[in-house]
Structure 1
């Protein structure tokens, strides 16, 4: 009797394993069979939104199904990330993941998700530089003059950011700490809004991703003072790095890519991974992404995950330097 029972248990387990493998294989073969939703945890018009729309269009053609972009901004990207983390792990919900989501692991006591545990990070898409901008008619023409204005009016000048914990917030606080100055922080819902705030003279300056600032710079409303990167940006090659402008030791680069909810079947993950690799190898896609001031930097899933871990560690270090407490 015992032998019979053991044989039955083994047979049932084998059948279950076969059914699981067969289902996973079928999911990979049939995927995708309907539209895919790609959550962008930021407002429309921001650099991540532009990146996703360009990449999503190419992925739609490759996968043969519409990739529908859904902007769910708020709380520095936490709201959209929370929604994605709770979505069904069937491959039909994606999320734009990147350095801000990693930063939020330290900037917020309760972000509502875990960037390393709740997602499968498929691969990086782009890497973007940030730039310090002021109003063109502000009378400030370089970083030295900005610092002089800040010192003359401690705490009276205001700067905009895309939200607490974003690279724009972190960068500004590091600049203030490095120069021994103070300014009022005015957080907005995203980089496009913070950039518009400077152009509209609601605040005095901002550190924002290059993408949303370019139209204002080219239109003559904003003046770029310096980029916060190791080297000059090709789209703003006449603008010095912050180190060249006299404030060394501050370099912030924002990056982003594609992630899926944890538990998504491996065949589906591989299908998405292959499609992303093909999309980013397309000259037309690369040209459009780079036209917005970003650098196309594809990666393996492992490399992308490691860059997120490194960002969490860097954020913890920078928060101490800039004396920023978790929200």
Structure 2
């Protein structure tokens, strides 16, 4: 394909063919990414007309299509769908689907919206300490919940950690972060081929980890209580070589936290795993830590996502205001 040709035979790329080319590219190698883009671009193609040349779509027409499809959706959905269309058009320009000047652009009035305040509950440090300190809570759950809070990491990131990944003396380990990109462009990249990030924990987790590992030297850090059933295919990295048990799944971990925090024993009324990360970041924001350090800990890529956690306490605001007082 030559830049500006649109297609190998020289015909202009249609909305549908441009979308299909993007979905088949390495940019959509991840199955979840591809699914999200497919949902968005399929609807856009229907709204605009899939058989028309992409270069014939006007900016305003594209904006009206976005407004028609997701104008009444939530802020998060609007931003996600708008971002998907923008990413697709950027890819088309970079890969010569059409001359960049001929491609439509998202109009200025279809701007990315600021996310509203989160509805996720913030649990106090006392409540978290009290939960982890309960005698009936298993050591595995104590360690997981403490580690999630102290690292402020996402649940899937910590559940994916193996014992051999841990640096116990440094209180840190590498994790495959949300949205991690592989170093190779081939599909089906292994974990080792992804760019890894690091998380750190404190004394609470450091005291629990040696007891949880208890002589194990490799395999998943958090494992279930049973071995996988016969015929169930499990990746070698997800099996403990000492016990034969499989990695604790997100669903299992979520159900365990819910069962220990449910109201009146009713399923679905307890805490969610994300609340531990959300609470940790909120507590950091209230403590007055700088935005740069906060983003280093939270690993947010955009300031706008990190700023919503900055709700300084009255004591911190009084301390800041004191700087302006008379000498």
- Under a length normalisation based on structure 1, what TM-score does the superposition of the two structures give? 0.28
- Under a length normalisation based on structure 2, what TM-score does the superposition of the two structures give? 0.28
More strand by share: 1
